[in-house]
Structures are given as C-alpha cells and as structure tokens.
Structure 1
Amino acid sequence: MYPDLKLYVGGEWRKSSEDLPVINPATEDEIGRLPKASRRDLDDALAAAVEGFAIWRKTAPRERCNVIRRAAALMRERQEEIARAITLEHGKPLPQARLEVIRGAEFFEWDAGEAMRTYGRVIPSKHGESFTVHHQPVGVVAAFSPWNFPMSQPARKIGGALAAGCSIILKAAEETPAGAVHIVRAFEDAGLPKGVLNLVFGDPAEISGYLIPQEPVRLVAFTGSTAVGRHLTTMASEHMTPVLMELGGHAPVIVCEDTDVVKAAISGAVRKYRNAGQVCTSPTRFFVHDSVYEEFRDNFVRRAVETVVGNGMEDGVEMGPLANDRRIPALSALVEDARAKGAEILAGGERHGNKGYFFQPTVLADVPDTARVMQEEPFGPLAVINPVSSLDAAIEQANSVPYGLAGYAFSNRADYIARLAEEVQVGNLSINTLEASMPETPFGGVKSSGYGREGGSEGLDNYMAIKHVWHSSQIV
C-alpha cells in the first residue's frame, strides 16, 4: 500500500545516496525510506525546470487544461491506493484521507478550467495606438508544501503553476511524501512534458536556502508556519523574487445568542478534531455569548469526549494521531501553561495511550488572555471556549491575535452578519459553516497569515506576470 519513494527530476525517477525514515505515527513503525536530494539533484531539477518551462509556456492553454484534467481523473481512479498511503504516513482516518484525494483532484480540475481563462484586456486609446495587457507565466516556481495534507496541499501549488504555464520544483514534506509522489505519477501518466514538474525531498532549510537565490526561480510558493514564511520571504526579497505565502492561523469562532446552540456545539467539536486539529483553518478559539455559554460548552465537551481516537486504518475511528512526535510536548506545554494561569480543563489535556503520537481531544475553558494558547496556534486537538458579553467583545477577541487566516461565526441575524463580514480581520470568513474554502473560492490570509491567494479566479494571479504593450501605428 505504501509507494517506493523516489525523487522525480527531468521526467526521471531517481534514488539518492542518503535517505531518511518515514514513520507511521499510529504505530511508530518505519514504513519507507525517503531519498534526500543532493546539491547535484537540485541543480538537475533547476536545469530541467528551465527546459520544461520553455516547452510548457508555449503549450496551448487548452492542451495544458487537458493534461491537468487527465491527471486529476487518474487520481480519482487511484483514490483508494492514495488514501491508504496517506493514512499510513499521516495517521488521519481512512475516510478523511479518501476525501482529501477527491479534494486534491477538485483543485486540479478547477485550475485546469482557469488555464483557459488567463485573459488580458484591451484599453481604449486614441486612433493609431493600442494598449493591451497580457498575462504571461512568471517562470520557474520553487514550492514548499507542509505535512498536514499530503495530497491537497501540493495540489494547490502544482495546479496553480501548471495551469498558468509555469514549471515547478516541489519540495514536499518529509513526514508525508506519498501524496506528492502519487500526484507526480498521475501527471507522468497523463503525458506532462519532462521537466515541467520536479519533486525533491530533504532538509527544508538546505533546499530552500539553495533554490530560492537561484536566478531561474521567479516565484516562491510556501504553506507553513509564520516564522518560516517570514524567513523565506526575507530570503526571496534579497533577490526581488515574489512570494505566495499561506501561513499560520488561530481561527476564532463567534457564537451568537440567536443560533441553534446544540448544532453549533456539535459541529464545532466535530470540525475541531478533524485531522487531529492539524489544520491551519481549524476552529480553535470559541467566543460564546454569555446567555448560551453553558449549553454550548456542555454539548461541545460531550461530543469531544465521545470522539473515537485510534489508528486511522480501523473502522469507526474519528481522530488519528498527531503527525510527528514533536507535537505531543508542544501541546502538553500549552495545556500546562493555561492550567497554571487559571484555565479549567474540561476534557483531555494529556497523551492518549503509550504507543503512537496520540493526544486526547482537549477542551479548555475560561482561559485568560495571558495564556500562551490565546496567542499561539496549537495545531492540534485543543479547543478554547470562553464566554463573551456581546458581539463587540467577541469581535475584539477574534481580532486580538496577529493572525488572520480563517474565522467563523454562528448567527442568523442580518445585522450581526453584516458586522462580522465588515469587522472580523481574516481572509476567509464562514458563517453557519466551518468549511473555510472551496476550489472555486480564493484562499489566503491577512496580517501575519500571509498574502496572495490560491483558488478561485484569483488563484493564478501570483503565477502570472502582467505585461503592458503600447503599440503605435507610426513612430512618434
């Protein structure tokens, strides 16, 4: 069920002299060996990407669309094989892994359609002159995807780059490489020209430090932590290389007094523990109106405690392990800090079991602003529930962190919804749903959550260079 892991450079699969273990986080067993790219591998990838770009940029948009669609269709056909590999390396329940494969295919299908719509425009001018605006592929893209969604995160970057006519070097996550390997296999089988898509693995700092300064690299696309995103942005700025950054979040959820409290609480708990909370848009800070606070809290805690934790390959499991061993002490430290500062632990708060990287679904209540978890994204199965006296107080709390990726609210009042849309400082606001984005909608953050957008009609903007052409019918 788990693929033989290799680098993909210039249309060829290759091993390397050095490799790294890939660990199943549910069992702590080694399931594969990951080749680590050498400097020569990276040089070869750069050269291949340059050659691939020369071919792909001149490929008709319709043909680019057809290749991407064929690859997406193959991923759908191979859904079970890909999903099982994702569950083995990441730990998420198999049904969630199956959905991730479909979501990744949907990203490709949307971007394939957008490949046909990279329109320019004609600007009215005086007789004898024309002003036209052209959208052209920016060039070679160096992309870096995280471990929390092994299939759909690489899909966003590969889909945008290929649809725009760019070539790409993807450095996928070492913990969860199989999703990217399966994507590359699908594109190879779909007939993508050699060099257009290249896949490498290895030390993130070494690879980014080498690729980003290279002259052929014309865009850096990154999803990950704010700290790393700032570092990569600084590095890219030294070479005037533009960046697309989808960084950390700390999503607020505002629960107003007019909503269906039980449904909101159950929905919140289910969504909080999806992917073990390892989602940049995961609902985390719940600000609940005083009048419905106890009812919401009690129903949320009840559903949290009922969450079935275990190996994602087993039937009925709702939450798998954390993706790596680093997350357990990080979450434990946040819980202990909150406890020491007066927070109440209503559920969980500790490691689950003795084998595998499992952590209990955790609920903290009445957490003071001084607790670290109120400012730091836990990136795990940890929810904070605090009462608020008014919508004003809830919005103030929602905006009190430096992040602004996703936000949520439950309300049926038109005046509340209008205020939320206007005043909550996020790139993605969802009301009466905890789904943050779809392939057809733009996704990205504000403040320290990054800039640029993936998805929607805006999704290819970062992968395109805008050129204005002024043509005069005579020399002036």
Structure 2
Amino acid sequence: MAISEPVGPVAAFSPWNFPVAQLVRKIAAALAAGCSIIAKAPEETPSCAIELVRCFEEAGLPAGALNLVFGVPAGISEHLIASSIIRKVSFTGSVAVVRHLAALAGRHLKRNTMELGGHAPYVVCDDVDVGAVAKLACALKFRNAGQICASPTRFLVQESVFECFTEVFAATASEIVVGKGMANGTQMGPLANGRRLGAIDSLVRDAVDKGARLLAGGRRVGNEGFFYAPTVLAEVPLAARVMSEEPFGPLAVINRYAELDDMIGEANRLALGLGSFVFTTSVSRAARLTDEIEAGMVSINHFGLAAPETPFGGIKDSGHGSEGGCEGLQAYLVTKFVSQA
C-alpha cells in the first residue's frame, strides 16, 4: 500500500503584496499535512504576519508547530535551507531571488515549491461584449494597484474591437479614485514603496519614448506617499521594456492582433507563464487557447484564479508546484510504499 506522510519541517518565505493570504496558504497546507513550519515574513508588512500567527497561538496550536522570523533575508534563507532540520522550502516572490534560493535548495537536496512573477496576457476576441469585458479588465488590472503576480498586464485585443475596448478601458481607468485606503471613496491605494513608484514611472517613460500612446495616467498623484495614477498605454512596441519586464503596478499595455496565431505567439513569447485570461464566446476558440497558451492557469470569461480549493502556480520562469487545492496539500506530503507478505 502507499501511505502519505508529512514531508517534515518547512521553511516558508512570503511576500508583502498580500501579507496575510500569501502566508496563510503556506501555514495552512503545512499544518494540515502534519508539518511544522518556520515562516520568514516580509519586513514591509510585519504587523499582519504577527497578528496572523497570534491567532493560531490563541486557537491552541502547540508551541513550536508555527514559528515566525524576521531579519536579513539572505542570512535567514541560507541558514534555514542549509539546516538538516528543514525538509521543504516554499517561496513566493521574484524570479531574481528564487534563482538563488532554488540553487540553495538544490545544493542541499530540499524539495521546494516556487511561485514567482508573471506577465499575464488578457486575450479579447471579437465575439464578446467589448464594453463589459473592458470594464472587467480594468477592475482586474488595478486591483491592489496592480501589485499582483497574476495581474493581467498585456491586453491582446482583436483588431476589429481594439478601438472600442481601448476607449472604454482608458475611460474607466481615468475614473478610478486614488487615495489613502481608509479614506471614503478610495478605489485604489498606493504602491508599496518609493522603489515601485520609480520603477513604474521609468517603464512608462521608456514606452512613450519608443512610440507608445499614453491614454491615461502616466504620472504620480500628489506630492506625498507612493500614489501613481492608473496608467494605460496602447500600441506599445516590443522594444519597450514593459513588454518584457513585469510592471507589478498600475500599468496596462493594450495591443492589437489580427489572427489568433499572431496573438498566441505574443502570449507565449516570454519565459514567464503564471496566469492568463481569455474572453470569447466561441467554444472552439476557448479550447484552442486553453491548449496553446503556455501558462499554469487559464481563466476563461471571468476571474477564476486563486480560490482556496483550486491550484495556483505557474510554469517556465513563473515557478513550479502549486499552492491551494489538494495539489497544494500534496506538496507537503511524501509517499511511502509498504509491502507486506
């Protein structure tokens, strides 16, 4: 018979953009599988992690089952991953950081789950309700100020509906109220820090310099904080950095395509493959794009990613393994085969 057993103590590294949800995915799966866990939470959002762990403590979780640590990321990761106690590594973050962590895990033969960045295509075919799809696209793009790994970034719109989609999308983006999260009427908050503010502005300036059309935003909001206006660029050339670099902020790129083959080529051009979105009323088109778009997740005609009961993960440079669903639980288990005469 085959028996599933806990893999053992886990070292988990979580990011700042969803400081509770990202961390609780790792904690819940580890504990459910019977593993203890040491969580390295982000320095940018310490209070969320502390209060989350306090909830487990107050609920009666045995001491030592869940542990929280802060500090210099490089020092902590090198110490934990190299430790003979740790049996699995779970990381959510950037491709650049994971190359180092994956190398450490490989050196010490540690199992690992890596959920990294994306540059999600949002495909719009000419058989949809363009206005409705454009408004949904806008809501998805600027949620959490675009600081989401599976956020749609490259909007690939069929030529015959390109102008209509672009007009509705840009107008909707321009109406978004940017401000402090606790203020009445705020619809989009700030970026995480000054580095993100500068990074987004640099991508916008580069794209415009290379010939992109700026349809909305493209500027900082106010003189305090890290607020940046929801920004829409259209007809962006491939030479622009934003076509290859994940913006991770309130920046949308809208380009047109004529044939599905051209669009699929662009959707798969990058080494990233986390989330993707397809909008069409054609069953055959949906089936073809499901098969041919290279991504760990394909959401058709709605936003269907990141539900607790479904797997969340990417392929190629967007990582390997899944969080969420039964697949996420399996990542914390090992299989033992037992044969008895």
TM-score normalized by structure 2?
0.99
Residue identity opposite 2:242 in structure 1: V
The aligned counterpart of 1:319 is 188
Report the Cα distance in structure 1 between the residues aligned to 2:31 and 2:184, rounded to whole angstroms: 37
Q: Which runs of 5+ in 2 are unaligned?
A: none
Report the Cα distance in structure 2 between the residues aligned to 1:284 and 1:434, rounded to whole angstroms: 14
The aligned counterpart of 2:128 is 259
The aligned counterpart of 1:106 is none
The aligned counterpart of 2:86 is 217
Q: Which is higher, the Rg of structure 1 or of structure 2?
A: 1
The aligned counterpart of 1:133 is 2
| 1:435, distance to aligned residue in structure 2 (A) | 3.7
TM-score normalized by structure 1?
0.71
Residue deviations 1:306-332 (CA, integer Å, cap 9, x gap): 000000001111100001111011111
Contact 1:266 1:299 in 2 (8 A): yes
Residue deviations 1:324-368 (CA, integer Å, cap 9, x gap): 111011111111111121111111112111100111110011001
Number of aligned positions between the proteins: 341
Residue identity opposite 2:129 in structure 1: D
Corresponding residue SS for 1:470? coil
| 1:178, distance to aligned residue in structure 2 (A) | 1.9
The aligned counterpart of 1:381 is 250
Report the Cα distance in structure 1 between the residues aligned to 2:45 and 2:94, rounded to whole angstroms: 17
Report the Cα distance in structure 2 between the residues aligned to 1:209 and 1:337, rounded to whole angstroms: 36
Contact 1:428 1:437 in 2 (8 A): no
Contact 1:283 1:434 in 2 (8 A): no
Report the Cα distance in structure 2 between the residues aligned to 1:262 and 1:147, rounded to whole angstroms: 33
Corresponding residue SS for 1:338? helix
The aligned counterpart of 2:57 is 188
The aligned counterpart of 1:90 is none
Contact 1:346 1:364 in 2 (8 A): yes
The aligned counterpart of 1:142 is 11
The aligned counterpart of 2:320 is 451
The aligned counterpart of 1:413 is 282
Kindly indicate whether residue 296 of structure 2 is the aligned counterpart of residue 427 of structure 1: yes
Overall identity of the aligned pairs, in %: 56
Q: Which runs of 5+ in 1 are unaligned?
A: 1-131
| 1:437, distance to aligned residue in structure 2 (A) | 2.4
5 Å-filtered alignment, 1:13-52, equals: none
Residue identity opposite 2:178 in structure 1: V
Report the Cα distance in structure 2 between the residues aligned to 1:231 and 1:345, rounded to whole angstroms: 37
Corresponding residue SS for 2:214? strand
| 1:434, distance to aligned residue in structure 2 (A) | 2.7
Kindly indicate whether residue 146 of structure 2 is the aligned counterpart of residue 277 of structure 1: yes
5 Å-filtered alignment, 1:25-424, equals: 132-424=1-293
Extract structure 1 runs of 4+ deviating beyond 6 A: none
Q: Which moved more, 1:297-306 or 1:428-437?
A: 428-437
Report the Cα distance in structure 1 between the residues aligned to 2:271 and 2:243, rounded to whole angstroms: 11
The aligned counterpart of 1:128 is none
Taking only aligned residues, the RMSD between alpha carbons, in angstroms, comes to 0.8
Report the Cα distance in structure 1 between the residues aligned to 2:46 and 2:151, rounded to whole angstroms: 22
| 1:224, distance to aligned residue in structure 2 (A) | 0.3
Report the Cα distance in structure 1 between the residues aligned to 2:214 and 2:305, rounded to whole angstroms: 27
Contact 1:310 1:320 in 2 (8 A): yes
Report the Cα distance in structure 1 between the residues aligned to 2:231 and 2:225, rounded to whole angstroms: 17
Residue deviations 1:169-191 (CA, integer Å, cap 9, x gap): 00111111222112111111111
Report the Cα distance in structure 1 between the residues aligned to 2:326 and 2:22, rounded to whole angstroms: 18
Contact 1:268 1:434 in 2 (8 A): no
